[in-house]
Amino acid sequence: MGELILRPARFADASILYVWRNDMASIKASLSGEAVEWNRHQKWLSDLLIEGENRIFIAELRGVAIAMVRFDMIDDGGYEASWIIAPEMRGKRLGRVVLEAAVELYPKVKLIARIRVDNLPSRKIALQNGFRLSSERDGICVFTRHRC
């Protein structure tokens, strides 16, 4: 695959994360189904980087940012995983590899992923990384991954 690395996101990544998040395919796949306004995005990222419990990573391939993976703490001490592949990198089978590298950072933690039922690429990526469908309701599939 080459030199895939995960690094913690920085505030300097705000612009690229904003572009990726507001790409039409990302909007359609998001749970809200809506674009995010720039000032709200900046505040969200700033708050996320300051808080201690949630994490956001940028995946880089040969020094080029190709994806984002985020882990938000949930009530039981586990994390909800979410990811976005850069629009220009979609369809290159990178999602599985990116998520695989990210979940290895949390080897003994319960992870969940909430994915729209019509988001087949993300559902496939979750399944390829050991997540199993645990429920489906109101058009959202909940996938769970347990590791011991």
Taking the domains of the chain in order of start, what are their residue ranges? 4-106
- The rounded distance, in Å, linking the Cα atoms of 39 and 126 is 31
Q: What is the largest CA-CA distance in the chain?
A: 40
- The rounded distance, in Å, linking the Cα atoms of 136 and 148 is 25
Architecture of domain 4-106: 3-Layer(aba) Sandwich (3.40)
The pTM (predicted TM-score) of the whole model is 0.91
- The rounded distance, in Å, linking the Cα atoms of 38 and 90 is 24
- Report the helix count and the strand count for the chain, using DSSP H and E: 5, 7
pLDDT of the chain, 148 residues: tens digit per residue:
568 999 999 999 999 999 999 999 999 989 888 899 999 999 999 999 998 788 999 999 999 999 999 999 998 779 999 999 999 999 898 999 999 999 999 888 899 999 999 999 999 999 999 999 999 999 999 999 986 5
What single letter denotes the amino acid at residue 16? I
